[in-house]
Structure 1
Amino acid sequence: MIERAPYAQMLGVREWTDAEGNPGLFMPAAPALEGRQGFLYGGVIGSLLELACLAALSGAQDVPDGRPRPINITIDFLRGGLMIDTYAQARIVRLGKRVVNVDAACWQSDRDSPIATGRMHLLRSV
């Protein structure tokens, strides 16, 4: 569903599911995504984390249809993202009556060595 969003299409984002059935996103490396030479642009990494948070929310039960409204997002850049395929996955930490808290991680060749993490808070549509 997220991969149909125009911005996700521009980034080349595709959805995937891990062995446990959890949704995630995959973004192939492309020259248009390069920031400084040999590295992904930081905004692209932040966008992938945001899209992963929205994907986790769209796949959750007990979330009414409608567009959640972001309250804030925090990105921690841990290392430079190389110009290679990149993955992101998010999980809902708390699904409150009005606010949803979601954590996300972004990695490349090693899932245990993320290049960035993020936290997003959204106002639920009711």
Structure 2
Amino acid sequence: MKNLTTEDFVTLIETAKASKDWQPVFDIIPYFSFLGLRLEPSDDKLICVLPEEKKFIGNPTLPALHGGVVGAFLESTALVHLFATQEVTRLPKIINITVEYLRSGKPIDTYAEAIITKPGRRVANMRIEAWQKDRNKPIAAAHANFLVS
């Protein structure tokens, strides 16, 4: 993050929660900026969007998204969900993540949603799914644990 104190980061998160404008948060996290991460407007859900970009293609023959980009997108979606739904006092740290690659991801807009399966005082357990045109046909899913305090 770009030279922000913990207090400044927490203030930025609280401002984003109140205004529902997450772009300033995405702008200070370099990998979020690299991914071009954005939120799709929704009243009751946080849907992250990975935009169509040629730089994300891992196999140009198919073409297909690079697995590392898909994994990073899933982890980023989980972080956004934690920022938006939990009391954040510092940047959550990934403990582990297991990614299941279910089908080839095409180089088109990709969507993801995270849910907290078990919130804890110290650790949050999460499930994240990514899809493209059809939500019922996910391209990848992940289980992740984050240290939240």
Alpha-carbon displacement from aligned partner over 1:14-69 (angstroms, at most 9, x marks no partner): 11243x521121111111111001111110100110001001111114x2321112
Determine the C-alpha separation between the residues in 2 that align with 1:106 and 1:45.
Answer: 8
Correspondence 1:7 to 2:31: yes
TM-score (norm 1): 0.91
Structure ranking higher in strand proportion: 1
Unaligned runs of 5+ in 1: none
Determine the C-alpha separation between the residues in 1 that align with 2:106 and 2:113.
Answer: 18
Q: CA deviation at 1:3?
A: 2.4
Greater RCO, CA 8 A, separation 6+:
1
Q: CA deviation at 1:96?
A: 0.9
Determine the C-alpha separation between the residues in 1 that align with 2:112 and 2:90.
Answer: 23
Determine the C-alpha separation between the residues in 1 that align with 2:104 and 2:121.
Answer: 37
Determine the C-alpha separation between the residues in 2 that align with 1:115 and 1:13.
Answer: 17
* Equivalent position to 1:32, from 38, 47, 55: 55
Determine the C-alpha separation between the residues in 1 that align with 2:36 and 2:115.
Answer: 22
Change (3 A) 1:28 1:64: closer
Determine the C-alpha separation between the residues in 2 that align with 1:53 and 1:95.
Answer: 13
1:89 corresponds in structure 2 to 113
Structure ranking higher in helix proportion: 2
Change (3 A) 1:7 1:42: same
- Report 1:14-53 matches (<5 A): 14-18=38-42, 20-37=43-60, 38-53=63-78
Runs of 4+ in 1 over 6 A off after TM superposition: none
3-state SS of paired residue (1:59): helix
Correspondence 1:56 to 2:78: no
RMSD (Å) for aligned C-alpha atoms: 1.3
TM-score (norm 2): 0.77
